[in-house]
Chains A and B, each alone.
Chain A
Amino acid sequence: KAGVTQTPRYLIKTRGQQVTLSCSPISGHRSVSWYQQTPGQGLQFLFEYFSETQRNKGNFPGRFSGRQFSNSRSEMNVSTLELGDSALYLCASSYRGQGNTGELFFGEGSRLTVL
């Protein structure tokens, strides 16, 4: 069974640009959650999508958005990038959702550097 796949693995952007990250969940998983990981703040929940609907959202500004497609693949977008957006963005999939059992399968992450 293939794991969670995130692309790209690494990217460098400049302030003001926008970025789109992609996540393919484990086959059969309907939930995709996104987390931002920084050294000082640990894992911060961004949002969760389940069957193409946003089901839960963390405390991030509107510059952070996402969507989920009918095949459960998900994308997240960050517009008007700021230096503080530099982080590892992790995607996690599960069958029933992050708020149901807490048992998540994480991808390897997309490391974003904003210059």
Chain B
Amino acid sequence: GQQLNQSPQSMFIQEGEDVSMNCTSSSIFNTWLWYKQDPGEGPVLLIALYKAGELTSNGRLTAQFGITRKDSFLNISASIPSDVGIYFCAGLNYGGSQGNLIFGKGTKLSVKP
């Protein structure tokens, strides 16, 4: 079946540093999404990307939909302690009601103050 390879699995960074993570697949996706899960909470949608090459920002977060439609990237600038959590990428193969949303295994981010 389809799989998403998300990397890195975990990151330990200093407050103020920039963060980059990515997601790749052997399959093409119509939509890429990035979610964040805070400890003890459910995931929350950060950014959704709908077109190949699209670059979208949400505050200090910037995500890109890869040109090949097989990858996506998320960057966080000037990290702060509340950025701690697990970041999940998700790819969607649009199929109307039967579309298939696949999640990566997550990147766990730790930020040292």
Contacts and interface: CB of A to CB of B under 8 A. Distances in A.
Contacts of B103: 35, 42-43, 45
Nearest to A4: B42
A21 interface: no
A109 B41 CA distance: 7
Given A42-B88, A42-B105, A43-B103, A103 B33 contact: yes
Nearest to B88: A43
Contact of B97 (A41, A43, A97): A97
B59 interface: no
B48 A102 contact: yes
Contact of B48 (A35, A97, A103, A107): A103
A102 B97 contact: no
A42 B9 CA distance: 11
Nearest to B91: A102
Contacts of B45: 103-105
Interface string B1-43: 1000000000000000000000000000001010100001111
B111 interface: no
Contact of B43 (A41, A45, A50, A106): A106
Contacts of B40: 108
A98 B99 CA distance: 7
A100 B43 contact: no
Nearest to B90: A102
B104 interface: yes
A104 to B, nearest CB: 7
A18 interface: no
A54 B60 CA distance: 38
B106 A100 contact: no
B77 interface: no
Given A99-B100, A102-B101, 17 more contacts: A42-B88, A42-B104, A42-B106, A43-B103, A43-B106, A55-B98, A90-B43, A97-B97, A99-B94, A99-B95, A99-B96, A99-B98, A99-B101, A102-B99, A103-B45, A103-B48, A106-B35
Among all A-B residue pairs, the 5 with the closest Cβ atoms:
A99-B99, A106-B42, A42-B105, A102-B92, A43-B103
